[in-house]
Amino acid sequence: MEIKGIIPAMVTPMDENQKVDVEATHRHIDFLISKGVHGLFILGTNGEFHVLNKQEKIDFAKIVVDYTQGRVPVYAGAGACGTQDAIELAQGLESVGVDALSVITPYLIKVSQNELVDHYKMVANAVKIPIILYNIPANTGINIDPETVAQLIDVPNILGIKDSSGNMENTQGYIDLGKDHDFSVLVGSDSKILEGLKRGAVGSVASTANAIPEHIVGIYDAFHANEIEKAEQMQKDVDYIRAVGKLATVPSMIKRCVTVRGNNVGEARFPVSAVGSKFDQEIKEMFAEYGIQ
């Protein structure tokens, strides 16, 4: 499969009982695809994978795959602290038809780089679909070193990495490795999308694309149209929504932004507190900066 473009780190819509809201999920998928996104990234950090059980994850992936019907690729998070847990989840997600898996590093325990290599090889060998490594050291306490990627890059179904480190030298290390291999780099930091594209990344997994997908896709399109000044201004303007996102705990604010824009995707699951309408004025002012009413 070709990995590229703007891929929203999709929120998981919840109803008032904190159960998955199927209809809101369908509406969100249609909204994102209508705005030109190149894929859907589910069950990531902003998709609240950490508060969903294994069966909920598999069931949600099936909902998304069945409704998307191949319009764009579906990437699904299959990470876990334990290798066996990650394998079982990966196989479950593969069975419902996701196009690729995103596998975060183990977290809580700081495993060695050699242990990371073993972990990823075992997960990759347990499935047939593509795997995207997921590096987010601020949350996991572990960075996937470029030297570690070099040991994984020849595994047939490990096809790329999502780098949310925010460290562009780290990202560059991955990009340099990928130049002579079928290996793609996706930027996971919304403030670094354009810089990543300039360095050779193929796209971005962006949480802000839940609420302003046309703007984030616009950065990608402007870059590829060689409209660099326009792309730079659009990248700078991402700061408006990033500021709003910092008003409460992830992913409560991005979910509220989606709700204020017209599709009620509910609150984040506990222990994240409900935000209700507390910040709606700030959200509306933010949307106004993007010309969205």
**Residues with catalytic roles:** 134, 162
192 vs 187: CA distance, rounded Å: 7
Closest-CA residue to 6 (of 288, 225, 195, 197)? 197
43 vs 98: CA distance, rounded Å: 12
15 vs 24: CA distance, rounded Å: 9
- Helix H segments across the chain? 22-34, 54-68, 83-95, 113-125, 137-140, 146-152, 168-178, 193-199, 213-224, 228-245, 252-261, 280-289
Beta bridge partners of 133: 103, 161
Tell me if 205 is assigned to a ligand binding site: yes
| Cβ density class 154-174: b for 16+ within 10 Å, e for less | eeeebbbbbbbbbebebbbbb
Q: What is the DSSP letter of 196?
A: H
Residue reference for tokens 């604010």: 253
Whether the Cβ atoms of residue 29 and residue 8 lie closer than 8 Å to each other: no
Whether the Cβ atoms of residue 200 and residue 175 lie closer than 8 Å to each other: yes
Structure-block tokens of residue 188: 């996971």
Contacts of 56 (CB under 8 A, 6+ apart): 20
Please give the annotated binding residues for pyruvate, written as ranges: 205
